[in-house]
Amino acid sequence: MSKNYDYIIVGAGIAGCSVAYFLSQYSKSILLIDRNCDIAQGASGAAGAFLSPLLGKPNDFKELVTKALKFSTNFYLENIKDAITNCGVLRIPKNEEDREKFESYKPYMDFPYQNREDGYFFEIGSQVSPYETCKFLTKNIETLLNYEVNKVEKEEEFWSLNDEFKAKNLILTTGADISLIREKYFNIRAVWGQKIDILTSTKTTINYHKECSLSHSKYIEKENKYLSSIGATHHRIDENLKICNHCLDSFKNETSYNKKRVEEDCNKLLTLASDIKILENIEICDIKIGPRASSVDYFPMVGKLIDSQTTLIKYPHLKNGSHVKSSMLSAHDNLYVLNGVGGRGFVLSPYLAHTLVEHIINQTEINKHIKTDRMFSRWVKKLN
């Protein structure tokens, strides 16, 4: 006998946990599923989780990030004070060309800043604890962990998962692994990230970003050293998407991930961090890796999933490259996604989750730049 829920969310990274939190303001019939043994064990667990402004001239993506940064920073400060350190971030140009770009961006800064040391200091810059944040978001949510969803089917008014659970509404927040989404236009690129935690005798009081990010430090009395994190690398490589969040001990028996690249990336991160600040008596104490999900146009994907088969049956001429109107598109009933948050997951996810939940519950509009419509429109025009 299947167990029924109003909402089932598949994927317990920061996106799924955020959706669960905002949905819980309206419903108690929620199940959050993840194949890992705990929440935040994929890309979210490997994230540096830095909250930092996007610099540049005005454009739609920058506007989205700015709105999300304001929303999410306020949300964390008001609700999860123990998990956020709001100590500011110093953005340092990596070379003279970069410095010229920074100078050209000054008229378009969305947040107050100061010229400090060799860069630009923003007070809004923060870092959150990935696990503690996701734990807070899901503290009142029913979770099912160590559970792999292999089969999703529509049965009348319900979505059936593995013939074991039924949901009136299904929300997929599975990140880089989109095997449950059988739509060819829905294209996600895996960008592998690696973060390291280090113990050092060097104290760091703010966050830094140059070619990598170096966090503020926390004194560990037992070690008589300071704990900082350095992240993250970026690799567009073909790997098993189930590999995630390994620590040092895990590598001893892991054969399916390139251990040599992990070691090289550790050295690279240490080199880049030392270019920001001289770090002494360094000891790597933890390594985490995970595939971040990025869309082809860098905007996230939020909202109902377009049903390409039904749409093309109704409007076969769309294959010829005709203008695609939103009114022509058919969506899968009660099937939603939040994906493609890339390396800004902890900035974007609370804002996007709130946007999605308000759309589901109160039918509020979703910004056209983040809807799945745009991906279908580009794909269908290239079919012929």
Give 152-162 pLDDT, tens digit per residue: 999 989 999 99
Residues 59, 36 share a domain: no
- 238 has a pLDDT exceeding 70: no
Range in 61-75, 112-126, 247-261, 308-322 with the lowest mean pLDDT: 247-261
pLDDT tens per residue across span 149-185: 999 999 989 999 999 999 999 999 999 999 999 999 9
Q: Which of 108, 128, 148 is the last residue of a domain?
A: 128
Pair 170, 56 in one domain: no
Span 1-28, average pLDDT? 95
Residues whose CB is less than 8 angstroms from the CB of residue 83 and which lie 6 or more positions away in sequence, other chains included = 76, 128, 129, 132, 133, 136
Encode burial over 194-229: b for 16+ CB neighbours within 10 A, e otherwise: bbbbbbbebebebbbbbebbbbbbeeeeeeebbbbb
Side-chain half-sphere exposure of 378, counting CA atoms within 13 A: 12
Q: What is the pLDDT of residues 355-378, one digit of tens each?
A: 999 999 999 999 999 999 999 999
Q: What is the mean pLDDT of residues 187-204?
A: 92
pLDDT of residue 252: 44
Counted residue by residue, the chain has a size of: 384
Kindly give the pairing relationship between strand 30-33 and strand 158-161.
unpaired
Tally helices (H) and strands (E) across the chain: 8, 20
Q: How many domains does the chain have?
A: 3
pLDDT of residue 220: 96
Please report, for the domain that includes residue 27, its CATH number.
3.50.50.60
Q: Say if CB 339 and CB 63 are below 8 A apart.
A: no
What is the percentage of the chain residues whose pLDDT exceeds 70? 94
Q: Are residues 288 and 193 in the same domain?
A: yes
Examine the domain organization and report whether 321 and 339 are in the same domain. Answer: yes
Q: For residue 382, which amino acid is it?
A: K
Domain that holds residue 263: 189-295
Does 289 lie in the same domain as 197? yes
Same domain? For 40 and 178 the reply is yes
* Residues 324 and 374 placed together within one structural domain of the fold: yes
Specify the pLDDT at position 246.
44
214: nearest Cα among 52, 38, 11: 52
Q: At which of 277, 295, 313 does a domain end? A: 295
Q: Are 209 and 120 in contact (CB under 8 A)?
A: no
pLDDT higher than threshold 70 for residue 249: no
Residue with tokens 């999703």: 152
Which pLDDT does position 239 carry in this prediction? 61
Do 291 and 303 fall into the same domain?
A: no
Q: Provide the b/e sequence for 248-269 (b: ≥16 CB within 10 Å).
A: eeeeeeeeebeeebbeebbebb
Mean pLDDT over the full length of the chain: 92
Query: Would you state the pLDDT for residue 326?
Result: 86
Looking at the structure, do residues 212 and 166 belong to the same domain, yes or no?
Answer: no
Round the CA-based radius of gyration of the chain to a whole number and report it: 21
pLDDT of 251 > 50? The answer is no
Place of tokens 């993506």: 61
> 109 and 61 share a domain?
yes
> Same domain for 277 and 197?
yes
